[in-house]
Amino acid sequence: MKLSVRSCVRRFCTVLFFLGFFVFPGRVFTQEEPPLDWDFDTLFDEPEEVSSEPLEGDSPENDDSGVEEKDSGFAALLRRSGFSLDFSYSANGGFSPGWSETPWFAREYESKYTNVLGVNLYSYLGIDVRVSESFRAHSTVGFTIPEKAGFFLNDFYIDYSIFKRVFFRVGKFGHNWGISPNFPAANLLSRVPSGGDWGDPYILKADIPIGVGGLQLLTLTRPGFIQGNTPDFKELGYGGKYNLAFTWADIDAGVFYHQEMPLRAFLAAKTTLKDTELYVETMGTVRHKTWDGYTISANAGIVQDLFNDRVSVNAELFWNGEDNAFFFNPKTELEDAESSPFFPGLNAALNLSFKPNWIWNLRFVLASRWALDTNSAYILPGLSFSPLSHVDVSLGVPVALGGRQGHYYHNNPNKNGRPLGIILLINLHGSYYRDLY
């Protein structure tokens, strides 16, 4: 099994680099659609100069309002005052049989059968209030039963702009600096020290449009750092990121410092080559207390949609030069917040999605990860469909491969840490939105 996994990874790496650098010809870049934008900011964060075109459905020739073109688009939306309500409900239940040891180790270890039956109900209430062109407040409160029953604050932040040139946001909200959907190496804001019970970040950030991009400065802390009611200076992290948004590529460079972690800096770029999306991220670290222990990490990925977007492919290679590095996973409807390790050395990811458009919004997926240096792999084949309105059914079979001492065997995404299992989930969900502007 050891040689099989290592051989598969090497072939995967070869194919990825071959596709990325030789198969797709030409040097014509296009930015018709923003590549790999998994984390959009709200309209409030966008400077007025970003768009001078009218909104869809408007016609400048038939516009009798007398408003100049510069007052259309985002500026017109920002001047609206009022509030919106967003209700979201979800009830999910599932059954997950599995084994604490995989069958191919049954002769050496006892393979115990376990099962999990879970039911969870979630409710979210979101309120978005725009007081004026320069002030906005947003909050989302959730309630869940039976697991950790009670209310919790999901998001809460306030936006404020100064002369439409400097945009501030302060509060509790998720924020992403990275590109990769597989290994958040360049997302320095997700990094946490090993150990500890971390929570969602509290952030104060400022966005300043400059030229074709913009500068972002921020300070961040987490509940795991805070010892009292308010954080001390030593519990705060500080960072900055500069963006260059060219028509042929989007480039980001940033740095983040926290007293309890190494000093980290990153450089990332993403672009579209014909119909293929490409991204590259690099990161360097140094122990700022002794100014030694330099490390370099990097990843390169590709996203391709085929057959009229029915098939989606995402492949990525990641070299992790750090040891004992962790990142924070926020809470979801199915999983609690937790910290996860980065696996050292060479890693790879391959994600496939197939939407055949047959019946019930059927979708087949395959998620896979390899950690070559530790002879460890993880695959999750599955499918999902919607047989009824507001009802989703998902079925997956997570499997950890490779040596029993490999990272994925003991650090796999299975909620109970089992290397082999079956997951059946039924989710009943719905939402309601009311705009009162």
The span from the CA of 125 to the CA of 127, in Å, is 7
- Residue that wins the pLDDT comparison between 1 and 124: 124
Confidence at residue 147, expressed as pLDDT on a 0 to 100 scale: 73
Q: Is residue 30 part of a domain?
A: yes
Range name among 205-209, 224-228, 387-391 with the lowest pLDDT average? 224-228
Residues 27-31 have a mean pLDDT of 32
Q: Is residue 91 part of a domain?
A: yes
Boundaries of domain holding 101: 2-133+140-148+260-435
The pLDDT tens digits of the residues spanning 225-246 come to 888 778 888 899 999 999 999 9
Q: Is residue 225 part of a domain?
A: no
The pLDDT tens digits of the residues spanning 358-370 come to 899 999 999 999 9
Q: Is residue 99 part of a domain?
A: yes
| Residue 3: how many other CB atoms lie within 10 Å | 8
Confidence at residue 35, expressed as pLDDT on a 0 to 100 scale: 33
- Please, what is the end-to-end C-alpha distance for the chain in angstroms? 61
Confidence at residue 104, expressed as pLDDT on a 0 to 100 scale: 81
The span from the CA of 136 to the CA of 157, in Å, is 9
- 14: three-class secondary structure by DSSP: helix
Q: Is residue 153 part of a domain?
A: no
Confidence at residue 204, expressed as pLDDT on a 0 to 100 scale: 96
Residues 336-345 have a mean pLDDT of 85
Q: Is residue 413 part of a domain?
A: yes
pLDDT band, residue 80 (cuts 50/70/90): low
Count of structural domains, the chain: 1
pLDDT band, residue 36 (cuts 50/70/90): very low
Structure tokens at 89: 């409900």
Query: Running DSSP on this structure, what letter comes out for residue 34?
Result: -
Q: Is residue 192 part of a domain?
A: no
- Residue that wins the pLDDT comparison between 198 and 416: 198
Residue 55 has pLDDT above 70, yes or no: no
Q: Is residue 58 part of a domain?
A: yes
The span from the CA of 43 to the CA of 159, in Å, is 11
Residue 400 has pLDDT above 60, yes or no: yes
The span from the CA of 261 to the CA of 420, in Å, is 34
pLDDT band, residue 9 (cuts 50/70/90): very low
Confidence at residue 123, expressed as pLDDT on a 0 to 100 scale: 93
Residue 69 has pLDDT above 60, yes or no: no
Specify which residues 344 forms β-bridges with: none
Residue identified by tokens 């969870």 is: 120
Radius of gyration of the chain (CA): 24
pLDDT band, residue 414 (cuts 50/70/90): confident
